[in-house]
Structure 1
Amino acid sequence: MISKLISKLGYTRFIALSFIPVILLGTFLLCLPISSKTGEWTNFIDSLFTSVSATCVTGLVVFDTFTHWTVFGQIVILIMIQIGGLGLMTIITMISIFLRKKINMRERKMMMQSSGNTQIDGTLKLVKKIVGGTFIFEGIGAVLLAFRFCPQMGMLKGIYYSCFHAISAFCNAGFDLMGFRQPYSSLTYYTNDYYVNIIIMSLIVIGGIGFIVWNDILKNKFHFSKYLLHTKIVLVTTAILLVAGGLGFFIFEYNGELADKTVPQKIVNAMFMSVTTRTAGFNTIDLSNLSDSGTLLSLILMLIGGSPGSTAGGLKTTTIAVVVIAVFAMAKGGDDINTFKRRIVSDVVKQSAVIILIYLFAVMLSSMIICSVEGLGMSQVLFETASAAGTVGVSKGITNQISAISKIILMIMMYGGRIGGLSLVLVFGQRKPEAPVKRPTEQILIG
């Protein structure tokens, strides 16, 4: 049956649409009285918003996760986060392997695209590594967090909270249960706790660099010269963004949100902001009081996001890197776009430029509509739409105040951000055959 659907829809559409049944099932379960602490039905739009946010590993919420949802509802959210992080097709493949069902060539090709692999050989092995690596990293993160949470919360609650936050961090989701201290407080209670900060940051970065990068590092260890070009670009771009982002927040918020902290605390919180604003959604400082410079830096990092084939959303590190490399190549007057002694084909540059334009257009259009509907300031709305498009989840506190129309717009942005802007266009667009005759060329003025 899956093979027939793949044949009918195509790989890209099938992968993109595979999120929808998970979202709808999650919505139904969250609507149930058993999911709400009030024991009442939760309205459809708010349940749908939460389901989309969890499945698309975003973290924007209309209710505080601890305050509104029961343990049942929280576990439903956690399962959707895990499915959304791994991808439904990865999980289906693992079930098929476990049940020893034969996986045909069409399904293998689909898995190749879903996992981000560049060749069909070794795709099933990669899927096994993805699932195994995910549970290993989440397990290690949960154990380490338990050393802090269990003494503070008790054994059972501490273990539950450790598992929840480890999965949420690794999948770059940003959902938290810290509302028992104060609703919507995220990790602000741990703002000066280096131990928790470093563990959460590590899980976010590991989950956000991509499964292909894991596999390459595992295969070639620390021999950088042997890595795939993709891995090299991801690692270098990620490092630059982390350092530049951390330095930017340190400078911009030195006398702002970080003013009451020591220099080491400023450094850790600035780095945490640099990590989390790219895709994760946790926060250790009050984002509503960020300076204009800090807000603009957050917008840039949110739109860039993580890396392809990972649990992260956004434009992706490689997309930005390719365009930047192309700009420098053109500035030098060269025809070829080279990096790390390899040439990047022109089609990749074109696709990267298209993806950037799609994201910028979507964010601007969505922000204009929401501003018109809600009457809110542009800064707040841009922050929210960029957070949705990058599947980040950080917020300036307006998500639970907006109308159903604005929530629907943000849901579309979260969905598009998770499957990718180009994939979203391909899902709803109809590819037309190219004309057999090439049209004549003519020069135009640009720049």
Structure 2
Amino acid sequence: MKLANISFGRLRLTPPKILSLGFILLIAVGTILLYLPASSTGERLSFIDALFMATSATCVTGLAVVDTGTQLTVFGQVVLLVLFQFGGLGFVTMATLITLVLNKRISLKDRLLLQESMNQNSMQGIVKLIRRVLIYSLVIQLSGAAVFAARFMMEMPAGKAVYYGFFHSVSIFNNAGFDLFGDLHGPFSGITRFVEDPIVNITSMLLIFLGGIGFIVLSDIIDFPKRKRLTLHSKVVLSTSAALILIGALIFFWLELNSTLKPLHAGGKIMASFLQAITPRSGGVTTIDIPLLRESTQFLMILLMFIGAAPGSTGGGIKVTTFAILVSTAVARLRKKEDIVMFRHRISKDTVYRAITMTLLSLMLIVIATMLLSVTESADFLTVLFEAVSAFGTSGITMGLTPELTTAGKLLVIILMFVGRTGPLTLAYALKPKKSKELYRYPEGNITIG
């Protein structure tokens, strides 16, 4: 995608640089607010813990070094809520909302930023899409909040139930994964007490799915009755997401049937399997204690976390479209086909190169981070790998390592969360030097593969 430069005085900033700087600014403001004594119920957070929590919220990850429900005040919780709302929808999108409310004109600079933040190939119709994103998000989150509030009223006062419903709906839709149930069921308990609750499970799965497929796909689905067709992007996202959820749920059910799922009734087994198949792709909430799972199941979740959600969504990972292109490329090569075809459309070589580059950069980052975390942390390799992939995929699931991280480990995970949210390619574009024109080409050479 060709990106235009934007001038600010003597500075020339590309949209990726502005997006990256915007996330850094949000994290900085969040860190300062969480560092205040008013954010903590007891002794105030250390600066590194405040930075970690602010990064986790802004990057909609959900990894927490302190329990949100017991160690943060209502002020601290609201700070987190604002951060993962801005982080999930994107600070550029939220700034556009303010501009639209004030009836201000959307400039070319703003449209370029919106194009980059929504992973669009052109600026055509971008403001209309943003309006829809904001409306869809509001309707979905308020609907989820109403359902949660009605359910939570069965076990807490109405005012608290409404607050809990709103907080968890926003958190789960934005794939942030923060919860407040430590206040009721013990620190870091999550929603494990609701493992057989159909209302909490089904609502959570729908919120994660709708937040994870991307706003472009949501808009396409709503337009389907009029247009009677879906774009190629939507077809790939929906088909790949459905396949990953179904296959993931079946494998989880098979692996854990005689283990963690054994005490549950039939409906509970099915709900737990599907939620645990959906949530690794950036959801962050679980109804099963992850450390109790078999190692094979934990590794399955690592793979799902690495793939992540869809482009232009609240989720992370390499994205389902990248995974779909890699699989299609491998199939095409095995069949000796020249073109990579998906739904009767040929995929450009530039798109394939981007997918391969994204995957390789992500793998390299995870490998390096895992090696470093293995040095800084006293934990087994699978636990460290799980933590690294969860941070990069902004999944927010942990095997219990997050609260025990050393200062060096926290800094490493902070970097992983930031890169996972902004995207390796976006960050690479932001940091790359000025492009120089190639004046010549080298002769083609042959290298033996395999």
* TM-score for the superposition, normalised by structure 2: 0.96
1:370 to 338, 355, 373: 373
2:434 and 2:236 mapped to 1: Cα distance? Answer: 31
Partner in structure 2 of residue 175 of structure 1? 178
Q: Which moved more, 1:329-338 or 1:105-114?
A: 105-114
Amino acid in structure 1 at the alignment position of 2:110: E
1:242 aligns with 245
Evaluate the alpha carbon distance shift between residue 401 and residue 100 of structure 1 in structure 2; reply closer, same or farther with a 3 A threshold: same
Taking the TM superposition and a 5 Å limit, the aligned residue runs for 1:410-425 are 410-425=413-428
| Identity score, percent | 38
Separation in structure 2 between the aligned mates of residue 81 and residue 119 of structure 1, nearest angstrom:
27
Q: Secondary structure at the match of 2:44?
A: coil
Which residue in the other structure is 1:218 paired with? 222
What does residue 159 of structure 1 align with? 162
The alpha carbon displacement at 1:218 in A equals: 1.5
> What corresponds to 1:20 in structure 2?
24
Match for residue 194 of structure 2?
190
Q: Indicate the residue corresponding to 2:128 in structure 1.
A: 125
Partner of residue 387 from structure 2, selected from 384, 388, 402: 384
Match for 2:212 among 197, 202, 208? 208
Deviation at 1:446, TM superposition (A): 1.4
- Following superposition, the deviation at residue 222 of structure 1 comes to 8.6
80-89 vs 121-130, which deviates more? Answer: 121-130
* Equivalent residue pairs, number: 444
- Write the distance in 2 (CA, Å) between the matches of 1:438 and 1:230: 34
**What is the correspondence of 1:277-316 to structure 2 with a 5 Å cutoff?**
277-316=280-319
| 1:59-115 deviation line (CA, Å, top 9, x unaligned) | 000001011100000000000010001101111111112222222222212212212
Letter in 2 for 1:395: T
SS across alignment from 1:8 = strand
The amino acid that maps onto 2:218 is: W
- Give 3-state SS (helix, strand or coil) of 2:321's partner: helix
User: Which residue in 2 is equivalent to 1:438?
Assistant: 441
What do residues 118-144 of structure 1 show as CA deviations (whole Å, max 9, x unaligned)? 331211111111111101000000011
CA distance in 1, matches of 2:225, 2:182: 41
Query: Match of 2:40?
Result: 36
Q: What secondary structure, in the 3-state scheme, does the structure 1 residue paired with 2:136 have?
A: helix
Question: Does the CA-based 8 Å contact 1:36-1:42 persist in structure 2?
Answer: yes
Q: How does 1:311-322 map to 2 (within 5 A)?
A: 311-322=314-325
| Cα displacement (A) at 1:217 | 1.2
Q: Is the 8 A contact 1:5 1:14 kept in 2?
A: no
CA contact (8 A) 2:58 2:88 kept: yes
| More displaced stretch, 423-432 vs 409-418 | 423-432
1:54 aligned residue (51, 54, 57): 57
Matches within 5 A, 1:313-332: 313-332=316-335
Q: Which amino acid aligns with 1:423?
A: T
Deviations 1:214-257 (Å, cap 9, x if unpaired)? Answer: 11112223977x21110000000000000001001101111111
Between 256-265 and 191-200, the greater mean CA deviation after superposition? 256-265
Take 1:255 and 1:63, find their aligned partners in 2: how far apart are those partners?
Answer: 33
Q: Distance in 2 between matches of 1:126 and 1:223?
A: 16
Match of 2:261 in 1: 258
- Give how far 1:431 is off: 4.3
Report the residue type matching 1:44 in the other structure. F
Give 3-state SS (helix, strand or coil) of 1:307's partner: coil
- Distance of 1:101 and 1:114 partners within structure 2: 20
Q: SS in structure 1 opposite 2:152?
A: helix
Q: Secondary structure at the match of 2:153?
A: helix
CA distance in 1, matches of 2:112, 2:371: 40
Gaps of 5+ in 2: none
* Structure 1 unaligned spans of 5+: none
Give 1:395's match in structure 2, choosing from 398, 402, 407.
Answer: 398
Counterpart code for 1:53: S
User: 2:117 — aligned with what?
Assistant: 114
Letter in 1 for 2:447: I
1:311 positional shift: 0.3
- Decide whether aligned partners of structure 1 residues 5 and 391 sit closer, same or farther in structure 2, where only a CA change above 3 A counts: farther
Letter in 2 for 1:401: E
Q: Deviation of residue 272 (structure 1)?
A: 0.5
Q: Which residue identity is paired with 2:93? A: T
Q: CA deviation at 1:432?
A: 3.3
Q: Displacement of 1:116 after TM fit? A: 2.7
Q: Which amino acid aligns with 2:197?
A: D
Match of 1:74 in 2: 77
Match of 1:338, SS state, is strand
Change in 2 beyond 3 A, CA 1:124/1:134: same
Provide TM-score, normalisation by structure 1. 0.97
* Alpha-carbon distance, 1:151 to partner: 2.1
Bigger shift: 193-202 or 426-435? 426-435
Compute the RMSD of aligned alpha carbons.
1.5
